Amino acid sequence: MDFVIGGLAGAGATIFTNPMDVVKTRMQLQGELRARTDATTRYRGIFHALYVIARADGALALQKGLAPAMVLGFTMNSVRLGMYHVAEVNGWTKNKNGDISIEKAIFWSSVSGVMSGVTGNPASVVKTRIQAAAHPSIAVGRQHRYKGMFDGIVTIYKTEGLRGFFAGVSATCTRLAIGSAAQLTTFSKFKEYLLSRGYFEDAPLTLSFWASIVCGVIVVCIETPLDVANTRLYNQGSSATGAVLYTGVLDCLSKIYRTEGLHGLYKGLGPLYLRIAPHTTLSLVIWDMLNNLLAKSKINSKVVV
């Protein structure tokens, strides 16, 4: 049940944050391996991107890739949040005094992040390629034309084999190990800090809300360069669809830095924050709420018995 709750929390949050994910993907692919002076700017910012996408492809294009995004949200968060909650319940994240141990929390959140990255990578590949596909007037990056999630799955398998579903998996696992450690450790520790100060003792949703706001800011600052690398690796495809631009995560990061500068590693920072911050808030608040409800139902069932 811990894993189902984590998955529902992630999938539910995805519905609201997917438009920002579309914008983030386009902005990260814009000007790929070109100096800023040589790159054509299709998207001048978040609001301009929302406008041109809706104008060129229709308003529904802002929800492109929603199906694989929800599959990703469920699979990734069911593993990540589920594993971490099991560790919390069993006291594996606490020290002898019963307080959150930073080292133990980082370890278990990183392990859960890596496992979720492997599990969710196929959905990430399909999602990114569908989100990147656009009208020629606003297209950026390599274009993959899929009729939908299932067509994308079949096409990738036929042209790239199983290996195609695990493009960028090393970058994914690195990003999620670091990002999950920052997110879940900060979330747990800040909740503990607020409670120790007497804040929100009778308001668990408000407690979760403020803790998730803080960890959302930290996560986006740490994750953005690896998220850019993820997007590029997901979208490049195999050598069968054109020259491979990157051989791995380190090659990708170094090429981006050399040709696009530090700015290139932080492309899409704005929409990434606007996706991660509410997604973090929604998923962690929903996760906490469902876990509290489950805990109460277990207590009530014991009382009845």
pLDDT 10s digits, 13-39: 788 889 999 999 999 999 999 988 888
Neighbouring C-alpha atoms within 13 Å toward the C-beta of 180: 27
pLDDT band at 284 (very low <50, low <70, confident <90, very high): low
pLDDT 10s digits, 207-248: 878 887 788 788 888 889 999 999 999 999 876 566 789 998
What is the pLDDT of the chain when averaged over all its residues?
Answer: 87
d(CA 23, CA 228): 13
**Confidence at residue 73, expressed as pLDDT on a 0 to 100 scale:** 85
- Tally: H helices and E strands in the chain: 9, 0
Q: Which domains does the chain have, with CATH numbers?
A: 2-300 (1.50.40.10)
**Confidence at residue 239, expressed as pLDDT on a 0 to 100 scale:** 63
Which contacts (CB < 8 Å, 24+ apart) does range 149-156 have?
A: 149/65, 149/67, 149/68, 149/71, 152/68, 152/126, 153/122, 153/126, 156/125, 156/126
CB 292 within 8 A of CB 203: no
Helix (H) or strand (E) holding 191: helix 169-196
d(CA 305, CA 303): 5
**Confidence at residue 159, expressed as pLDDT on a 0 to 100 scale:** 92
The answer for residues whose C-beta is within 8 angstroms of residue 135's C-beta and 6 or more apart is 56, 57
pLDDT 10s digits, 129-147: 999 999 999 999 999 999 9
d(CA 53, CA 126): 19
The proportion of the chain whose per-residue pLDDT surpasses 70, expressed as a percent, equals 91
Q: Is the pLDDT of residue 69 over 90?
A: yes
95-116: average pLDDT: 89
**What is the DSSP code (8-state) at residue 59?**
G
Distances (CA, A) of 217 to 9, 29, 44, 142, 200: 19, 23, 23, 30, 21
Q: Is the pLDDT of residue 305 over 60?
A: no
Of 95, 85, 92, 149, the C-alpha closest to 122 is: 149
d(CA 156, CA 80): 26
**Confidence at residue 185, expressed as pLDDT on a 0 to 100 scale:** 84
**Confidence at residue 134, expressed as pLDDT on a 0 to 100 scale:** 95
148-163: average pLDDT: 95
pLDDT band at 88 (very low <50, low <70, confident <90, very high): confident
Q: Could you give the 3-state DSSP secondary structure of residue 273?
A: helix
**Confidence at residue 220, expressed as pLDDT on a 0 to 100 scale:** 85
Distances (CA, A) of 69 to 76, 198, 206: 10, 38, 27
Q: Is the pLDDT of residue 252 over 90?
A: yes
